[in-house]
Structure 1
Amino acid sequence: MTDRTELADFLSRCRARLAPADVGLPPGARRRTPGLRREEVAQLAGLSVDYYARLEQARGPQPSPQLLVSLARALRLTEDERNHLFHLAGHEPPRTRRTLTHLQPALLLILDRLHDTPAQVVSKLGDVLAQNRMAIALLGDRSQLPPRERSVMWAWFTDPASRERFPAAEHEELARSHVANLRAVRAAQPDDAEAAELVDELLATSEEFAELWARHDVATRRSGRKTVLHPVVGPIEVDCEVLCGARDGQLLLVYTARPGSESAGRMELLRVLGSQQMTETPSR
């Protein structure tokens, strides 16, 4: 059962302790009260302002587990605070890592501070866990996709549309890179049921994956270069770097264009345009 009164109070107090800079937002006009505005939390969590307002007014419906995960990330909750949020909403805290992996506030802070550079946090199996605004603008918003489809690995081998953002000449190398990285993860953690399940499902679903898996190529994800075919600003050649690894095999990926290049100019244009035009079709 949802404790609406306690849930409303907890959400309000968590919102009040955050400044816009804490979540990568500009300070904006003078604020009459401390903390984020309700509309800012709603934007960060991918909710309507009305829905979030009703939660803080203790008159909203019971939030789903997926919505609670979004709120926990938007409010930069610690793992203990996230679990408390789940209990107040009448749910058991998540125990599966694929769909409900918790991100530490410190890692989210790094993501927010990279306000002019596309960056996202992914799991060791390629699940996109969080994106900053520039990553959404460059690659599309994955937060609203079903849990399985947030996996770059799964989408690449099961959904032809996932390859539309990349030149056909790069498809083979990207596919090989995905499989080689998964092979390295699988070998390093042979008892990981999640990795084993993903491999088995891809083997049963994708002939291309099965052929590449049989080659036994191994390469841990560290860096690479790719071209993103952005439908608004045009092709952008980016270097993808793994800057740090966090707990539970989470990786921070940062995408940069070479200074002075045409791609750098298009990246700057993309920053100016913002993410509004690129929330429809994510690059998978």
Structure 2
Amino acid sequence: MEIDRTGLAEFLRHRRAALQPEDVGLPRGQRRRTGGLRREEVAVLCHMSTDYYARLERARGPQPSGQMIASIAQGLHLNIQERDHLFRLSGHEPPAHGGESEQHIAPGLLRILDRLDDTPAEIVSELGETLRQTTLGVALSGDLTGYRGPARSLGYRWFTDPATRGRYAADDHEYLSRVYASKLREVVARRGPRSRAAHLAELLLNESEEFRAFWDRHEVGVLPTSGKRIIHPEVGLLDLECQTLLDPEQSHVLLVYTAVPGSETHEKLQLLSVISAPLR
């Protein structure tokens, strides 16, 4: 496929003009004259330089990579059909829809997450890969989006990285091991023997004796509890409730962590929000 530079530029300008700062979790600010988002705001959302993005809108510069187009599609809160259109305009075949490899978060789920910045929350894939976190979510669990390869999966880290396990109350470890092994077995059955889930299971069978023991139980349907006991390096033990919102089309889940108002954990979350607040 060939890139349609003019079509790409026009589509990007149109989508940018259609978005307001509050649509993407940005402050509106004062004396705003731009009808939609500014180019520099889109560049921040897409994790690229303003100059690079501006050249795309001016139908200039090199052909963007598929990875860059995926980042733009997410930054502009495009739906799946709009994302596919953007890929074709840039001269790329769109990624496959849904399933375990889907990284594009639905704009509706993003809009909810954007409004939860005073709450620990994250969006995860069916393999336990954190795709997006709120600021307080990062303060609670660390930046979980920076992992690469199989370590992106919490289940993989659970059986291979002691530091991951150290963030959870010791009394919960055995049950959580059952949960992660059970969940992975279900995803393997759903996606098949050539899937990323099957490859992840194969890696863990080779690397973790403990995982092999839980895998050999053939358990399915072991569900995580709503209560989460997380040990934070600065504020200590947190007793949290985890509410979930499922996007069945994308196989993504929004996890929202809350505490009982007036509880010690609630006070600790308030302290975390102060610690994590950006300097002005």
Q: Normalised by the shorter chain, which TM-score bucket?
A: 0.7 to 0.9
- Please name the residue that 1:55 is paired with: 56
Separation in structure 1 between the aligned mates of residue 174 and residue 213 of structure 2, nearest angstrom = 12
The 1:117/1:218 distance shift into structure 2, 3 A limit, reads same
Separation in structure 2 between the aligned mates of residue 212 and residue 206 of structure 1, nearest angstrom = 10
Separation in structure 2 between the aligned mates of residue 14 and residue 143 of structure 1, nearest angstrom = 26
What is the RMSD of the two structures over their aligned residues, measured on CA atoms? 2.9
Structure 1 position 17, deviation (Å): 0.9
- Please name the residue that 2:182 is paired with: 180
Structure 1 position 276, deviation (Å): 5.8
- Please name the residue that 2:70 is paired with: 69
Separation in structure 2 between the aligned mates of residue 213 and residue 38 of structure 1, nearest angstrom = 49
- Please name the residue that 1:79 is paired with: 80
Separation in structure 2 between the aligned mates of residue 81 and residue 40 of structure 1, nearest angstrom = 20
Structure 1 residues 114-160: Cα deviation after superposition (integer angstroms, max 9, x where no partner) = 23222222222222233333323322334443354322222222334
What's the % identity of the aligned pairs? Answer: 49
The 1:100/1:246 distance shift into structure 2, 3 A limit, reads closer
- Please name the residue that 2:11 is paired with: 10
- Do structure 1's residue 244 and structure 2's residue 262 form an aligned pair? no
The 1:215/1:115 distance shift into structure 2, 3 A limit, reads same
* TM-score, scaled to structure 1: 0.81
- Please name the residue that 1:134 is paired with: 136
Structure 1 position 30, deviation (Å): 2.8
Paired residue type of 2:240 = V
Q: Is the 8 A contact 2:121 2:256 kept in 1?
A: yes
Paired residue type of 2:109 = L
Structure showing greater Rg: 2
3-state SS of the aligned residue for 2:168? coil
- Stretches of structure 1 lacking an aligned partner (at least 5 in a row): 278-284
Q: Is the 8 A contact 1:9 1:56 kept in 2?
A: yes
Separation in structure 1 between the aligned mates of residue 222 and residue 64 of structure 2, nearest angstrom = 38
Q: How many residues align?
A: 276
Relative CO higher for 1 or 2, CA cutoff 8 Å, sep ≥ 6? 1
Separation in structure 2 between the aligned mates of residue 88 and residue 262 of structure 1, nearest angstrom = 53
- Stretches of structure 2 lacking an aligned partner (at least 5 in a row): none
1:76-225 equivalent positions in 2, closer than 5 A: 76-95=77-96, 97-146=99-148, 148-187=150-189, 189=190, 191=192, 193-194=194-195, 195-221=197-223, 223-225=225-227
Q: Is the 8 A contact 1:136 1:275 kept in 2?
A: no
Separation in structure 2 between the aligned mates of residue 275 and residue 83 of structure 1, nearest angstrom = 36
Deviates more, 1:59-68 or 1:116-125: 59-68
Structure 1 residues 18-70: Cα deviation after superposition (integer angstroms, max 9, x where no partner) = 11221222322231111222333233333344443443344444333233222
The 1:83/1:206 distance shift into structure 2, 3 A limit, reads same
- Please name the residue that 2:266 is paired with: 264
Separation in structure 1 between the aligned mates of residue 121 and residue 217 of structure 2, nearest angstrom = 31
Deviates more, 1:212-221 or 1:256-265: 212-221
Structure 1 residues 242-266: Cα deviation after superposition (integer angstroms, max 9, x where no partner) = 2334314322211112221222122
* TM-score, scaled to structure 2: 0.82
Q: Is the 8 A contact 1:99 1:147 kept in 2?
A: no
Separation in structure 2 between the aligned mates of residue 223 and residue 22 of structure 1, nearest angstrom = 32
Q: Is the 8 A contact 1:107 1:246 kept in 2?
A: no
Separation in structure 2 between the aligned mates of residue 28 and residue 273 of structure 1, nearest angstrom = 24
Structure 1 residues 70-127: Cα deviation after superposition (integer angstroms, max 9, x where no partner) = 2212211011110121122222111274444332222222222223222222222222
The 1:54/1:236 distance shift into structure 2, 3 A limit, reads farther
Paired residue type of 2:12 = L
